[in-house]
């Protein structure tokens, strides 16, 4: 299906000020969509604002857990496609504050899906789950038929998100698909305790980058522009082939990398002589995790566009510019 699908199409994005949400909104408006976003907090330095996308979309202030608000937005803006990205995404915060994480990630999901069920114009819903929904699996790489076995607050919230979305398809035939992405990185992530932005900021400040774990935790790191493109591509496929409704899809570059290797790549790209400060303080995190994207390749004809070096280089450039501007204003 061509990108003509998006011309003047009414689209709702939750989580628009987040890392993936901001780049997704840019991709949508560039494709011609009419985007409305539900935004709870105004984030200083938000990538949505830096991209100028906040001036190109309609923004409704409120929480995704507010069902009356979500139903109003879907109805008054005549929304056709929905991207549900709103979530509390930081594992450490979830461990310290599980209730707020459950409220946003679990209640927010069923409120969104129930509101869509009551809105007859909605024809595609993409719910962003996570690779963390699988929990800690013995067989690698993780495929979509692995059981959802989150055990700690953030992982459990994503297992629940996933199962709730599936239940709305099975019970009500809601037109939903689920995405499970690898660890997203890219410009615009202002959660500095995440490894990529935190490492880059430390290097810019000539400080040793901190690794909270022992540095041997393995993930696949997925560039945010690939993530945004995957979201659009999935809805295009859903509009063309209704047989894929109800399915979950992993999106990943399928490259395993431990934290020390990632930090050393960033140090090399930034030409820094610093050495990482390995603290071995992490807990309640999965030690070895990476995804198979074979199903997305087979059913969606999807491929990632960006190699890790390219993605990291773009990301470093974004943070250099952001931190330079922040410093100049101080």
In the numeric block, the tokens 């024809």 are attached to 123
Cα(137)–Cα(148) distance, rounded to whole angstroms?
9
**β-strand partners of 278:** 211
Which two structure tokens, joined as six digits, stand for 113? 């899906």
User: Any idea of the CA torsion for 314, 57, 16, 142, to the nearest 10 degrees?
Assistant: -70
Cα(179)–Cα(158) distance, rounded to whole angstroms?
11
77, 134, 142, 154: the catalytic one is: 154
**β-strand partners of 277:** 210
Which two structure tokens, joined as six digits, stand for 168? 């709305």
Q: What is the DSSP letter of 138?
A: S
In the numeric block, the tokens 């943070």 are attached to 319
Query: Any residues with CB less than 8 A from the CB of 244 and at least 6 apart, and which?
Result: 177, 237, 238, 299, 300
- Which region holds residue 275: left if phi is over 0, alpha if psi is between -120 and 50, else beta? beta
Q: What is the DSSP letter of 106?
A: I
Q: Is 221 annotated in the active site? A: no
Provide the sign of the torsion angle of the four alpha carbons 250, 112, 86, 229, taken in this order: positive
Helix segments in the chain, DSSP class H: 19-30, 47-50, 67-76, 91-96, 98-102, 108-117, 153-172, 195-204, 224-240, 259-269, 294-300, 308-329
Catalytic residues: 154
């Amino acid at each position: 299906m061509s990108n003509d699908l998006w011309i003047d199409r009414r689209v709702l994005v939750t989580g628009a000020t987040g890392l993936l949400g901001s780049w997704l909104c840019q991709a949508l408006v560039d494709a011609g969509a009419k985007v409305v976003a539900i935004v709870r907090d105004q984030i200083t330095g938000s990538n949505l604002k830096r991209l100028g996308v906040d001036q190109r979309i309609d923004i409704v202030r409120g929480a995704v857990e507010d069902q009356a608000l979500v139903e109003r937005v879907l109805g008054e803006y005549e929304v056709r496609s929905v991207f549900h990205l709103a979530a509390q995404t930081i594992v450490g915060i979830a461990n310290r504050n599980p209730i707020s994480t459950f409220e946003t990630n679990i209640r927010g999901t069923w409120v969104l899906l129930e509101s869509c069920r009551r809105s007859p114009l909605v024809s595609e819903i993409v719910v962003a789950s996570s690779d963390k929904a699988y929990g800690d699996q013995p067989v690698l790489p993780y495929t979509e038929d692995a059981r959802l076995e989150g055990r700690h607050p953030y992982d459990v919230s994503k297992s629940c998100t996933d199962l709730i979305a599936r239940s709305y398809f099975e019970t009500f035939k809601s037109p939903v698909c689920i995405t499970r992405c690898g660890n997203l990185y890219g410009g615009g992530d202002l959660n500095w305790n995440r490894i990529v932005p935190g490492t880059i900021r430390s290097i810019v400040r000539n400080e040793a980058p901190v690794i909270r774990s022992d540095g041997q935790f393995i993930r696949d790191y997925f560039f945010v522009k690939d993530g945004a493109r995957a979201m659009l591509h999935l809805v295009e496929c859903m509009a063309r082939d209704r047989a894929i409704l109800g399915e979950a899809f992993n999106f990943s570059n399928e490259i395993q990398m431990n934290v020390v290797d990632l930090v050393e790549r960033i140090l090399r790209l930034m030409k820094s002589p610093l050495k990482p400060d390995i603290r071995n303080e992490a807990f309640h995190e999965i030690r070895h995790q990476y995804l198979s994207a074979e199903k997305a390749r087979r059913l969606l004809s999807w491929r990632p566009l960006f190699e890790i070096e390219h993605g990291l280089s773009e990301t470093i450039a974004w943070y250099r510019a952001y931190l330079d501007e922040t410093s100049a204003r101080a």
